[in-house]
Amino acid sequence: MTIYFNNGVYADKETMKVSIDDRGYYFGDGVYEVVKVYDGKLYTAEEHFTRFLQSAKKIRLDLPYTIEEFTEIAKKLAVDNGIVEGHVYIQATRGAAPRMHNFPGEDVVPMITAYAIHNPRPLSKIKEGVAVKTTDDIRWLRCDIKSLNLLGNVLAKQEAYEAGCAEAVFVRDGIVTEGSSSNMFGVKDGILYTHPATNLILNGITRRVVLKLCAKHSIGVMEEPFTLEQFNEMDELFLTSTTSEITPIVSVDGKPVGEGVPGRVTERLQQVFEETIHELKME
- Contacting residues toward ligand PLP, per CB under 6 A: 153, 178, 181-183, 202, 204-207, 240-242
Please state the closest distance from residue 14 (CB atom) to ligand PLP, in A. 27
DSSP letter (8 states) at residue 154? H
In the bound state with ligand PLP, the residue whose beta carbon lies nearer, of 78 and 96, is 78
H helix or E strand, kind and range, residue 208: helix 205-216
Helix/strand/coil for 274: helix
Give residue 264's Cα distance to chain centre.
24
The minimum distance between CB 241 and ligand PLP, in angstroms, equals 4
Query: Could you say which of 36, 75, 133, 146 is catalytic?
Result: 146
Instruction: Give SS3 for 194.
Output: strand
Nearest-approach distance from CB 210 to ligand PLP, in angstroms: 9
Q: How far is the CB of 56 from ligand PLP (least distance, A)?
A: 16
Q: What is the C-alpha separation between 120 and 87, in angstroms, rounded?
A: 9
Give whichever of 75 and 87 is closer to ligand PLP, judged by the CB atom: 87
Residue 80's alpha-carbon distances to 4, 48, 112, 190, 196, in angstroms, are: 9, 21, 18, 45, 38
What separation in angstroms does the CA of 108 have from each of 15, 18, 49, 94, 127?
22, 14, 23, 8, 47
Q: Of all residues in this chain, which one has the CB nearest to ligand PLP in the complex?
A: 204
CB-wise, 96 or 202, nearer to ligand PLP? 202
What minimum distance in Å lies between the beta carbon of 242 and ligand PLP? 3
Chain-centre distance of CA 236, in angstroms? 21
Q: Which is nearer to ligand PLP, 149 or 153 (CB)?
A: 153
CA distance readout (Å), 146 to 171, 230, 261: 19, 27, 32
Can 76 be counted among the known catalytic residues?
no
Closer by beta carbon to ligand PLP, 3 or else 148: 148
Note whether 44 and 33 are within 8 A (CB): no
Catalytic residues, which ones? 146
